[in-house]
Structure 1
Amino acid sequence: MATQAKQRLLTTAEELFYAEGIRAVGIDRLLQESGVGRASFYRHFASKDDLVVAVLEDRDHRWLDWLRTSVESVDDSAARPLAVFTALAERLARNDFRGCAFINTMIEMADPASPAHQVADRHKRRVITYLTELLTAADQPDPDILATELALLIDGAIVTAVRENSPAAADRAAAIAARLLA
């Protein structure tokens, strides 16, 4: 039962934080929406900040698993770096897309010492590490430098997609990436 309550808290918190923002959602709302009692909440999390960290860590693993699965379905390792943008375009086209949960967190929790900010930063670094792996496997020169450039394109496409309310930014970022990789 405790595991179910914890999972309901994590699921509800992720949905609400992503849709409305971390600071906009209070503990009372989380408890009401999840159907979990206050005592149960505090058995699982010492604070809302601890819940935020747990939500982000869980989302980090799921997001990177999704990206790997999407990209690695492409047989040609040389084509995989650009496949990242194809996967991204699919994500940006979702009806519930509200930007990157990690970018949003870094904006809301701007203090780099904040545990939530640190988890978000770690996620971005893990994406860069994955991009480096893809670029290395694709025999691209300077994979470390290219990975940071592609990560910048990804983040820029995400923010632009929010601003334009359109997934087209992923295609434009892919075109720029193709020029970088040529």
Structure 2
Amino acid sequence: MTQTRRRRPSARQRLLEAADDLFYTRGIASTGVDAVIARAGVATASLYKNFAGKDDLVASYLDARDARWQEHWEFHIAQHQDPHGRVLALFDALRTWETEPGTSRGCAHAAASVQLPPDHPGHAVAQRHKQRIIERLRQLLDEAGHPNPNEASLDLMVIYEGTFSLLALNLDADPVARARQLAHQRLSITGAPNRARDE
């Protein structure tokens, strides 16, 4: 029986994985490229072959994290047929994204927006990540027949962002459940219909 040899991740992928771990847990400013190179186990030249420098690596790390989150969230949205549940799937996704209690450092994109100057390419990626979430929420709320999807999407975003703070500070036994309930109440107050989505 022939065994398929598992391909080793590319140098670029290993650098991104190392950056994801180190930038998230230690902070972007306090993590130099030498630490990322050492964690990835690649030659220094590999970093500069794949990225223009640290700024480009930071932006690429945030882009990759955004792509993973969007895919993760869409998976949870697809688990619901009713529009109300599709809106609340944001919090279902967050629950399975943060799997180990006490390990959260909050939102990587929010942290990056604080650590990086406004003209840093990573700052634009972080801002775009948040805008995508708001826009997708607005779309889902519109599909659910919400009377004011623009305002409601921002309200849900406030709840979502606050959840990250509680997770990072470990101030609540189950902040995601609390956040989901608050979001449910916010939707219920407006009387938004909960009609089944046409298949």
Does the TM-score normalized on the shorter chain lie above 0.5? yes
Match of 2:107 among 90, 100, 113: 100
Structure with bigger gyration radius: 2
Which residue of the partner structure matches residue 128 of structure 1?
A: 134
Which residue of the partner structure matches residue 148 of structure 1?
A: 154
Which protein has the bigger helix share? 1
Which residue of the partner structure matches residue 12 of structure 2?
A: 6
Q: What amino acid is aligned across from residue 114 of structure 2 in structure 1?
A: I
Which residue of the partner structure matches residue 83 of structure 1?
A: 89
- Aligned residue pairs total 180
- What SS class does the counterpart of residue 122 from structure 2 fall into? helix
- What SS class does the counterpart of residue 22 from structure 1 fall into? coil
CA apart distance, 1:170:
1.7
Cα distance change of structure 1 residues 133 and 117 upon mapping to structure 2, 3 Å threshold: same
1:10-66 deviation line (CA, Å, top 9, x unaligned): 111111111111112111111111111111211111110100001111111110110
RMSD: 1.8
User: Structure 2: where are the runs of 5+ without partners?
Assistant: 1-6, 189-199
User: Structure 1: where are the runs of 5+ without partners?
Assistant: none
Which residue of the partner structure matches residue 43 of structure 1?
A: 49
The separation in 2 between residues aligned to 1:167 and 1:49, in whole angstroms, is 37
The separation in 1 between residues aligned to 2:136 and 2:173, in whole angstroms, is 22
Runs of 4+ in 1 over 4 A off after TM superposition: none
The separation in 2 between residues aligned to 1:90 and 1:35, in whole angstroms, is 29
CA apart distance, 1:4:
0.8
The separation in 1 between residues aligned to 2:163 and 2:82, in whole angstroms, is 24
% identity of equivalent residues:
35
CA apart distance, 1:108:
1.1
